[in-house]
């Protein structure tokens, strides 16, 4: 296979970073002025802000507002080279990776390709439910929901129309809770104005969680308030409940009850993205890669793993650290310092998780905050959530657009991004040519 072109061979040691998410981007930014040559590889040419995918899915934000071009970040950084490519295989013996555009040699390899949706082997759920782990999937979810509303308008069967309106969300973590709250507010404030012919009193939003509480991992108070807020907004929360099967029309629960819904959104779990060529012993639970306290892949000397893909088992975290942005960014920061120490022959420092707290918003003025030494809910937690997420978005222009959209929605109880944007099918294109 050919070598990826136009990346110069220099006397510098080359660090190849696969993945431009929170972990990979933070590492590349931290090392951009080092003596290393940095090659960043990602299947997209942009960084996507995952915590706000649900707002794209519910027409609260446009996709470009939470995306930022990776090339723009590294303009005028001659040490950093970026390529749009997908990882196919790692050849540790020859210190090369194989991608869909060619092979690339590395001195140090950092895998930061994150996680994907875990359907736990259920092919029907994979086929018929809608995940939300990428910007494209968030747009698809928006198209699916709005498209079903349009179908409901022309459906003479009231039961079928209600099924087209109904939404089942599987997974009561922050993503599921925030998505359920946003959809409930759309149902209350926005959809009746867009679709006055539809009876939205028949629309049901169910949130299903297999454990005994929503926001598992948060404090008891925050979990309790999160459920209370959801129910205040009209969401039906079902705890200790999981889905056995789904045919695209009805969800079969473990107790053999069924929920009729044409929209089933799966946020119930993730598993590490696949990496070919590694020893079987490198993989742990959930297809995550086992690393030591320095984020070094077990069984390898010059391969590191950071972010959601890394499984670092400690006494405090026997199942690994939470798969959240805070951990990814902290691991990247620690690894960048360790790579500089390696260059100087200095000993490495282990990664230690610093818990900055957890935030989750349920709706307008409704949020929970678990911070070190303090927990609070309601309006103050909601304001803190807004400020933290706004400041974490890349780009001044993006922050401005997000702030304007949030302010507009807050004061007008409306959104202006309810667009179904889909590529044309081949038959449509051929029809236009014939016409």
pLDDT > 70: percent of the chain: 97
DSSP-assigned letters across all residues of 94-125: TTEEEETTEEEE-SEEEE---EEE--TT-HHH
Q: How many CB atoms lie within 10 A of CB 374?
A: 8
C-alpha 410/C-alpha 401 separation (Å) is 14
- What's the CA angle centered on 9, arms 3 and 15, to 5 degrees? 85
Query: Tokens 């099924």 — which residue?
Result: 163
**Helix extents (H) in 32-76:** 53-57, 70-73
Look at residue 2 in the predicted model and tell me its pLDDT.
Answer: 86
pLDDT in tens, 306-325: 999 999 999 999 999 999 99
pLDDT at 425: 57
**Cα–Cα distance for residue pair 65/41, rounded to 1 Å:** 22
What CATH number belongs to 14-117+270-344? Answer: 3.50.50.60
Domains 14-117+270-344 and 123-267 share a fold: yes
**Confidence band for 26, pLDDT divided at 50, 70 and 90:** very high
Q: What is the pLDDT of residues 36-54, one digit of tens each?
A: 999 999 999 999 999 999 9
Question: Across the chain, what does the average pLDDT equal?
Answer: 93
pLDDT score for 269:
86
Confidence of residue 432 (pLDDT cuts 50, 70, 90): very low
CATH number of 123-267: 3.50.50.100
Q: Where are the domains of the chain?
A: 14-117+270-344, 123-267
Closest by Cα among 307, 316, 315, 398 to 111: 307
Q: Are 107 and 301 in contact (CB under 8 A)?
A: no
Instruction: Give the total residue count for the chain.
Output: 435
Can you give the pLDDT at residue 421?
75
* 66 three-class SS: helix
Residue 388 has pLDDT above 50, yes or no: yes
**What pLDDT, on the 0 to 100 scale, is given for residue 362?**
97
38 in Cβ contact with 81 (< 8 Å): yes
> How far is the C-alpha of 435 from the C-alpha of 430, rounded, in Å?
9
- Tokens 């016409």 label which residue? 435
Please give the Cα distance from 170 to 420 (Å, whole number).
24
């Amino acid at each position: 296979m050919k070598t990826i072109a136009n990346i110069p061979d220099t006397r510098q040691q080359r660090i190849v970073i696969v993945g431009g998410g929170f972990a990979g981007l933070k590492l590349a930014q931290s090392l951009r002025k080092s003596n290393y040559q940095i090659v960043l590889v990602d299947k997209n040419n942009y960084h996507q802000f995952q915590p706000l995918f649900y707002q794209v899915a519910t027409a609260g934000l446009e996709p470009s507002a939470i995306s930022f071009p990776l090339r723009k970040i590294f303009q005028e950084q001659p040490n950093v080279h970026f390529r749009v490519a997908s990882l196919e295989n790692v050849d540790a013996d020859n210190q090369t990776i194989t991608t869909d555009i060619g092979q690339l040699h590395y001195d140090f390899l950092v895998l930061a390709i994150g996680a994907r949706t875990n359907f736990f082997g259920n092919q029907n759920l994979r086929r018929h439910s809608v995940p939300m782990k990428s910007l494209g999937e968030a747009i698809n979810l928006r198209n699916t929901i709005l498209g079903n509303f349009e179908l409901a308008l022309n459906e003479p069967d009231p039961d079928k129309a209600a099924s087209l309106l109904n939404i089942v969300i599987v997974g009561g973590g922050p993503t599921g809770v925030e998505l359920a709250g946003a959809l409930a507010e759309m149902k209350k404030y926005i959809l009746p104005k867009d679709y006055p012919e539809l009876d939205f009193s028949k629309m049901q939003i169910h949130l299903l969680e297999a454990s005994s509480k929503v926001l598992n991992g948060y404090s008891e108070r925050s979990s309790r308030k999160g459920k209370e807020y959801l129910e205040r907004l009209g969401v039906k929360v079902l705890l200790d409940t999981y889905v056995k099967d789904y045919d695209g029309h009805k969800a079969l629960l473990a107790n053999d009850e069924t929920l009729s819904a044409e929209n089933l959104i799966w946020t119930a779990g993730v598993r590490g993205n696949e990496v070919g060529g590694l020893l079987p012993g490198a993989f742990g639970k959930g297809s995550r890669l086992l690393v030591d306290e320095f984020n070094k892949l077990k069984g390898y000397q010059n391969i590191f793993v950071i972010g959601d893909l890394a499984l670092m088992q400690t006494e405090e975290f026997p199942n690994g650290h939470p798969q959240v942005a805070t951990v990814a960014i902290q691991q990247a920061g620690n690894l960048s310092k360790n790579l500089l120490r390696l260059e100087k022959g200095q000993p490495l420092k282990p990664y230690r998780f610093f818990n900055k707290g957890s935030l989750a918003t349920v709706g307008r003025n409704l949020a929970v905050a678990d911070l070190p030494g303090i927990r609070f809910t309601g309006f103050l937690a909601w304001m803190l959530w807004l400020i933290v997420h706004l400041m974490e978005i890349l780009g001044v222009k993006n922050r401005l657009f997000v702030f304007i959209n949030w302010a507009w929605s807050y004061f007008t109880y409306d959104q202006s991004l309810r667009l179904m944007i889909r590529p044309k099918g081949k038959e449509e294109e051929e029809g236009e040519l014939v016409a």
